[in-house]
Structure 1
């Protein structure tokens, strides 16, 4: 399969349709779940789809190590290439990896202003025209509404989308009766899209609990495939 057909058949097209065309430029989206459910895999799959579409991605990791992030990208690409029998996979890989930058910060030791200055320098001085920024492992317990406002303004100024992965650490219930993450309620107005990942039997289901102004629980009919760790149709 050629790259254009792979893009067309990707379950990420269902993902986008479920949230009215995708995250969109200038918007903030969150993948939220308990630790270890698969947020980073989903985040990397979203990023890889952007790369396949010739977009530029900045992956900001708040982990102490970034080698496992690189491994995630390699594994996700290999699974997609194998599943779709991608033609010229090595060439495609070498082409898209040039459009990805991984940055690493300790969230407790740096302000959001410093992080955004570093990203801005990469975009402007480094001529890296990012289409999407990923904040992997962002701790909303250390965030403020002012931080979210700055991130929103940054996304709008640079016309890019920002995705977060957030581990929910609050005691049960982790979600309210409508499926909304309790930990994120204080930031609900600041976030444009919120998608939860939670076990339903042996599978991890994706549900949109906020899509722009819509706050009703939406079954996206997508799951995280436990074998490939890719977003897949149910």
Structure 2
């Protein structure tokens, strides 16, 4: 089998196109929809690498993202292809298609600016795009304004005989769309979108489904899924298969609460290694870290509301019923909900729960079937939750793009060193 044939057989986009009997044409728009942290950027980078191996040129436009982070994705996922094919860099297939990056610091993206940039690239490097990627487009603008931008981008792609791909972030609370329409935020733009792909997380893997195909007005609600590795968006060859790629720190995000103790230590390490950081809190709660601070409003806090009975049954103890403590528990839901791994520093109790309010993060991780790791400060060891039991582990590592880092405010020296060693093993 030739390298190009192997690429095609391993391309999720090719499989989905083959199943529908159609593919995007020049000036047509494909959108990858998913919740935060599921893998929209990685998915489009894989599409771009597939295109380059076929000799096609890729113009990657990143909105509101760091250029180094985007480049890290290409480097990491290409190296993963070498490992998967058991090749070294000298034996690697040439990416014969060119790739150019262009960034916008905010959503002030304009098709005419991109057109002017492409004209410069054409004159100086003879570059003409076959695939245009726009990652980070803001779909929450007014419908008229957003539709105008989308239409202009499609016209730009058509003038260059290129296909256009974009990403869109969905939200759990948006609910199901009306019949025949795409999920929010793309509902109002369904007629402008020729192809819609959805990413659906499932443990260590992600399913990618074709919700709308070119040349078909039908929007599917339950399409067949191609199973991918969660961190690389490559086709998984076996159920439960885990990725062997080591993610660079630039593409990872720490989800935490910005409190003192363990959360402060996680945040300091994240900043040291160039990991992005989001700290969820709320008005009236003091924080020691404001890097990536997100203050949750009442409606957002309510998403993480938990009943007293449910909490008592799962934690097997009572917690304060004060409004402040209830908000703390609700904010913890945001720290855990979109994470793929959860790291907690504290004390594992005899009943299998973790001591204190921090224990709610661990219980949420169990309930949501996240990869859960706890450093027990008394036993001075990491433990992972596996088959309904704690199992000691000697090599805890950050292997996910989005991970939770939380724990006790009473952080011991051993706990601090465990966090620092975790980051060193993962990113040094």
- With the shorter chain as reference, the TM-score category is 0.7 to 0.9
Paired position in structure 2 for 1:206: 208
Q: Which has the higher contact order (CA 8 A, sep 6+)?
A: 1
Structure 1 residues 124 and 163: alpha-carbon distance in aligned structure 2, compared to 1, 3 A threshold? farther
8 Å contact from structure 2 (residues 182, 219) kept in 1: no
Paired position in structure 2 for 1:3: 3
Structure 1: where are the runs of 5+ without partners?
Answer: none
Q: CA deviation at 1:135?
A: 0.5
Structure 1 residues 71 and 167: alpha-carbon distance in aligned structure 2, compared to 1, 3 A threshold? same
Q: CA deviation at 1:123?
A: 3.7
Structure 1 length as normaliser, TM-score?
A: 0.85
Distance 1:162 1:89 in 2: 30
Q: 2:167 aligns with which of 165, 171, 183?
A: 165
Higher radius of gyration, 1 or 2: 2
Could you tell which deviates more after superposition, 150-159 or 216-225?
Answer: 216-225
Alignment of 1:7-156 (within 5 A): 7-12=7-12, 13-86=14-87, 89-90=89-90, 92=92, 95-96=94-95, 99-123=98-122, 126-142=125-141, 144-156=146-158
Structure 1 residues 114 and 228: alpha-carbon distance in aligned structure 2, compared to 1, 3 A threshold? closer
Could you tell which deviates more after superposition, 131-140 or 205-214?
Answer: 205-214
Q: Does 1:216 align with 2:219?
A: yes
Residue 182 of structure 1 aligns to a residue in which SS?
A: coil
Distance 2:108 2:147 in 1: 19
Structure 2: where are the runs of 5+ without partners?
Answer: 240-428
Q: CA deviation at 1:23?
A: 2.1
Q: CA deviation at 1:199?
A: 2.2
Q: Does 1:225 align with 2:229?
A: yes
Distance 2:223 2:236 in 1: 13
Q: CA deviation at 1:3?
A: 2.4
Structure 2 length as normaliser, TM-score?
A: 0.49
Q: CA deviation at 1:51?
A: 0.7
Q: CA deviation at 1:105?
A: 0.8
Q: CA deviation at 1:195?
A: 0.9
RMSD: 2.7
Residue 15 of structure 1 aligns to a residue in which SS?
A: helix
8 Å contact from structure 2 (residues 54, 97) kept in 1: no
Q: CA deviation at 1:35?
A: 1.0
8 Å contact from structure 2 (residues 209, 223) kept in 1: yes
Q: CA deviation at 1:19?
A: 4.3
Residue 188 of structure 1 aligns to a residue in which SS?
A: helix
Distance 1:173 1:215 in 2: 21
Distance 1:209 1:79 in 2: 28
Q: How many residues in Structure 1 have an aligned counterpart in Structure 2? A: 231
Distance 1:131 1:191 in 2: 18
